Amino acid sequence: MIAAYPPPTSTPWLVAAAILGTIVAAAVVLYALPLLIRARQVARWRKRAPGHLALTYDDGPDDTTTPAVLDLLDELGVPATFYLVGFRSELNPQTAALVRDSGHELGTHTHSHKNAWKKGPIFEFRDARRAYQTLDGIVPPNAPYRPPFGKCSLPTLLAMYAKDRRVDWWTAPANDSRDEQPQPAEAARRLLDTGGPVILMHSHHAEPNRRAFVLALTRELVRQGRERGRLFATVRQVREAAA
Ligand SMILES: [Zn+2]
How far, rounded to the nearest angstrom, does the alpha carbon of residue 65 sit from its chain's CA centroid? 18
- Give the chain's domains with CATH numbers: 13-242 (3.20.20.370)
Q: How far is the CA of 191 from the centre of ligand 1 (A)?
A: 19
Give the span between the Cα atoms of 125 and 127, in whole angstroms.
6
- 195-217 pLDDT tens trace: 999 999 999 999 999 999 999 99
- Ion ligand 1 nearby residues (CB, 5 A): 58-59, 148
- The Å distance, Cα 54 to ligand 1 centre, comes to 17
Distance from C-alpha of 64 to C-alpha of 68, rounded to nearest angstrom: 6
- Give 88-131 pLDDT, tens digit per residue: 999 999 999 999 999 999 999 999 999 988 888 999 999 999 99
Closest CA to 99 of 114, 110, 88: 88
174 with 200: CB under 8 angstroms?
A: yes
CA of 203 to the centre of ligand 1 (A): 10
Q: Ligand 1 centroid vs 200 CA: distance in angstroms? A: 9
Tell me the per-residue pLDDT of 37-91, one tens digit each, with 9 for 90 and over: 999 999 999 999 999 999 999 999 999 999 999 999 999 999 999 999 999 999 9
How far, in Å, are 21, 188, 196, 200, 242 from residue 31 at the CA level? Answer: 15, 32, 25, 22, 25
Q: How far is the CA of 1 from the centre of ligand 1 (A)?
A: 69
